[in-house]
Structure 1
């Protein structure tokens, strides 16, 4: 099984890098994990709606180039489906059972994702009703993927 995370922007905080590194090590016994960073668009604060759409479209073009043909595409989106950890585990398992061995998660930049990219996705996932910085979302996602594999393997995981 292969999991790829395509994320807009470079990870900056040391604590985020360390957390992701730790969960990546833990995940190595369950799957091959690859994290790909694509360049974010530089955007001033007061963008018009059309300028925001252009920024998201350019970022989406970079993202889509990194998604492998045949991979299940899951986007993180505020309007996506909210799942418990158990439901998330079941969702991943349903893709594996259907013969899909590669899942790609996409985390957009600070403006979110291009709507066309969201429509192309096989599944749209919301991590919470709360809003998280996109860099923190990367750490939360990696932890939840690890938790999902622990659940799938009937292993306890409390912490």
Structure 2
């Protein structure tokens, strides 16, 4: 299985980089993993709704350039489906069974994802109704993908 994670913005914090590297290393046993980072737009406080949409559109254009035809796109969106780790593992397994061997996860920037990116997604996934920093969300996503593979292989993993 090929998994691409497209995320907006650079990871600056060393502890987050270390976590991303650790889970990427662990995942190398289960899949081919690539990370694609696109530049984020400056988003000062007190933006109008129109300005927010324009920022999301610019970031969305950068994201869409990296999505190839024939990929199964999963966007992380607060209004997406919330799954337990076991159900997420089952989702990954079902995708593999259905022949979806190229999966793209999209982690948006601080304002979220554009309508165009959300419309491109075949599935919307939410980890919580809470808002998380997008850099931390990438770590959480990697951990859950790793956990999903461990569950599917019947390998032990802490609960």
- TM-score > 0.5 by shorter chain: yes
TM range (shorter): over 0.9
Residue 109 of structure 1, CA deviation:
0.3
Distance in 1, Cα, partners of 2:67 & 2:156: 32
Counting only pairs closer than 5 Å after superposition, residues 9-158 of structure 1 correspond to structure 2 as: 9-158=9-158
Equivalences, count: 159
Point out where structure 2 has 5 or more consecutive residues left out of the alignment. Answer: none
Residue 54 of structure 1, CA deviation:
0.5
Point out where structure 1 has 5 or more consecutive residues left out of the alignment. Answer: none
Residue 117 of structure 1, CA deviation:
1.4
Residue 148 of structure 1, CA deviation:
0.3
User: 1:86-144: CA deviations, max 9, x gaps?
Assistant: 00011111111111101000000000001221122110000112221110000000000
Distance in 2, Cα, partners of 1:131 & 1:45: 17
Residue 43 of structure 1, CA deviation:
2.2
Cα RMSD for the two superposed structures: 0.9
Residue 46 of structure 1, CA deviation:
1.3
Greater than 6 Å deviation, 4+ residue runs: none
TM-score normalised over the length of structure 1: 0.97
